[in-house]
C-alpha cells in the first residue's frame, strides 16, 4: 500500500447509519454497537406551531421539507457532525415506497451534499449479526410485520410476507380493552397507549391464551393503576395486560396471523433451506409487548402441526424449533423499518 493511500484510509471518518421508521428513527455511526440516538420520527414545525411527523405528507414537496427538517435535527442537535464529511448508510424496509427512497436521496445529495449513500435492507443486516448462513427474520414494525428469509446474505424475495400486524394493531386492541375496563371511551393519545404497553403488557403463554379464548378463562394477572397526570389514573386489568398482543396471533379465515405468515414464508423458500431457516428464527423490531419469542415459538409449532394435518403432502416444511427462537430487541427497533 502506498503512503498516501494509508493516510487517506486513516483520515476516513465513520459513516452515519440512518434508520427512518414510521414511529421512531435511529441514528448513529458504523462500527458502534448501538445507535447514538433513538428519537421519534417527528420535528417541530415553526409554521404550524406543532410537532409534525415525517411520514405525514400529501405531496412530494411536503415529504422533501419533512426530511430536510428531520435530518437537520439529527445531524446538528443529536450527533453534531457535518453531513458533508461523512457517508451515509440508509437502513430501510424492502417495501419502502419508491417516492420516499428517491426523495430521501434527493435531500441527502442536493440539500446536505453528502459524499456517498448506500441503501441496505434491514433483514440482511439483522441476519449478518448472527453469523449464520440462513435466518428467518421477523420484523414487527409500526404498521406491518414483515417475514423475510435470508440465505447466504441474500433475501429470498419470493418468500417475503407482510401483514398489517405491527404496533398500531396492538395499540388499537389495548385501547379497546382499556375502554372496557374503565367503562368509558378514554381517547388516550398514542404515546400514553405505548407507555402502558411497554410498562404493563406482556405476551401470555400458549396455554393461557387458549384458556382465555375458551369459555373458562384462567385467573387473571394482577391489575395495575396507571397515572395519566391531569387526566387522573386508569385501571389496567390483568386481562388487558395479557390480551393486548393477541391480534398478532389470532388466526382467521384468511390465515393473516403472524405464525401463518412465517409458515407461508417457509413454504415459499427452497426445500433445502427450510430446515435451516426454521431452526434460526430472529425476532426483531419493538412493535410487540415484552416476551414474545417463547409465545411465538409455541404458536409456530401449533400452526405447523395444524398445517401438516390439513396437507400431509407438504411435509417438507419442518416444525420450527422453539428452543432456537431468538429475540434481538434493538436490531431494527420499534418502527425502525416497519412501514
Summarize the confidence of residues 276-303 as an average pLDDT.
76
Mean pLDDT to the nearest integer, 172-190? 88
- In angstroms, the CA 211 to CA 213 distance is 5
Distance separating alpha carbons of residues 226 and 232, to the nearest angstrom: 9
Residues whose CB is less than 8 angstroms from the CB of residue 283 and which lie 6 or more positions away in sequence, other chains included: 138, 140, 292, 293, 296, 325, 326, 327, 328
The tens digit of pLDDT for each residue in 64-114 reads: 999 999 999 999 999 999 999 999 999 999 999 999 999 999 999 999 999
Identify the structural domains of the chain with CATH numbers, from first to last: 3-115 (3.30.420.40), 126-165+255-327 (3.30.420.40), 167-247 (3.90.640.10)
In the prediction, which pLDDT does 318 show?
52
CA distance 133 to 248: 28
Of 277, 279, 273, nearest to 324 by C-alpha is 279
325 has pLDDT over 60: no
328/326 Cα distance (integer angstroms): 7
**Pairing of β 281-284 and β 325-327:** parallel
Predicted pLDDT at 88: 95
3-state DSSP call for residue 103? helix
CA angle, 338 as apex, 332 and 339 as ends, to 5°? 160
Mean pLDDT of 306-321: 54
Sign of torsion over alpha carbons 268, 271, 272, 278: positive
pLDDT score of 310: 61
pLDDT in tens, 197-216: 988 888 887 778 778 777 77
Can you read off the three cell numbers belonging to residue 276? 435451516
Residue pLDDT, tens place only, 25-72: 999 999 888 899 999 999 998 888 899 999 999 999 999 999 999 999
pLDDT for 295: 73
Amino acid at each position: 500500500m502506498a503512503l498516501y493511500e494509508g493516510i487517506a484510509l486513516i483520515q476516513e471518518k465513520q459513516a452515519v447509519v440512518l434508520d427512518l421508521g414510521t414511529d421512531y428513527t435511529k441514528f448513529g455511526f458504523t462500527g458502534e454497537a448501538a445507535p447514538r440516538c433513538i428519537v421519534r420520527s417527528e420535528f417541530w414545525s415553526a409554521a404550524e406551531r406543532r410537532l409534525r411527523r415525517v411520514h405525514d405528507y400529501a405531496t412530494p414537496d411536503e415529504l422533501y421539507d419533512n426530511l430536510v427538517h428531520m435530518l437537520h435535527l439529527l445531524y446538528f442537535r443529536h450527533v453534531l457532525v457535518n453531513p458533508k464529511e461523512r457517508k451515509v448508510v440508509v437502513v430501510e424496509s424492502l417495501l419502502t415506497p419508491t417516492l420516499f427512497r428517491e426523495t430521501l436521496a434527493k435531500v441527502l445529495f442536493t440539500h446536505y451534499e453528502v459524499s456517498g449513500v448506500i441503501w441496505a435492507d434491514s433483514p440482511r443486516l439483522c441476519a449478518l449479526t448472527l453469523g449464520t448462513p440462513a435466518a428467518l427474520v421477523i420484523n414487527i414494525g409500526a404498521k406491518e410485520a414483515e417475514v423475510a428469509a435470508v440465505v447466504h446474505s441474500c433475501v429470498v424475495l419470493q418468500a417475503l410476507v407482510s401483514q398489517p400486524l405491527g404496533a398500531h394493531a396492538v395499540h388499537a386492541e389495548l385501547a379497546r380493552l382499556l375502554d372496557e375496563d374503565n367503562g368509558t371511551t378514554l381517547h388516550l393519545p398514542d404515546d400514553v397507549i405505548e407507555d402502558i404497553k411497554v410498562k404493563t403488557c406482556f405476551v401470555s403463554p400458549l396455554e393461557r391464551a387458549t384458556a382465555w379464548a375458551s369459555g373458562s378463562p384462567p385467573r387473571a394477572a394482577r391489575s395495575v393503576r396507571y397515572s395519566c397526570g391531569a387526566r387522573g389514573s386508569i385501571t389496567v386489568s390483568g386481562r388487558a395486560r395479557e390480551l393486548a398482543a393477541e391480534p398478532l396471533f389470532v388466526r382467521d379465515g384468511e390465515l393473516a396471523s403472524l405464525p401463518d405468515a412465517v409458515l407461508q414464508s417457509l413454504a415459499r423458500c427452497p426445500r433445502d433451506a427450510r430446515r435451516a431457516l426454521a431452526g434460526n428464527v430472529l425476532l426483531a423490531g419493538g412493535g410487540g409487548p415484552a416476551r414474545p419469542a417463547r409465545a411465538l415459538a409455541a404458536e409456530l409449532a401449533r400452526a405447523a402441526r395444524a398445517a401438516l394435518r390439513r396437507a400431509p403432502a407438504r411435509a417438507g416444511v419442518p416444525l420450527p424449533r422453539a428452543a432456537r427462537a431468538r429475540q434481538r430487541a434493538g436490531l431494527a427497533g420499534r418502527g425502525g423499518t416497519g412501514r
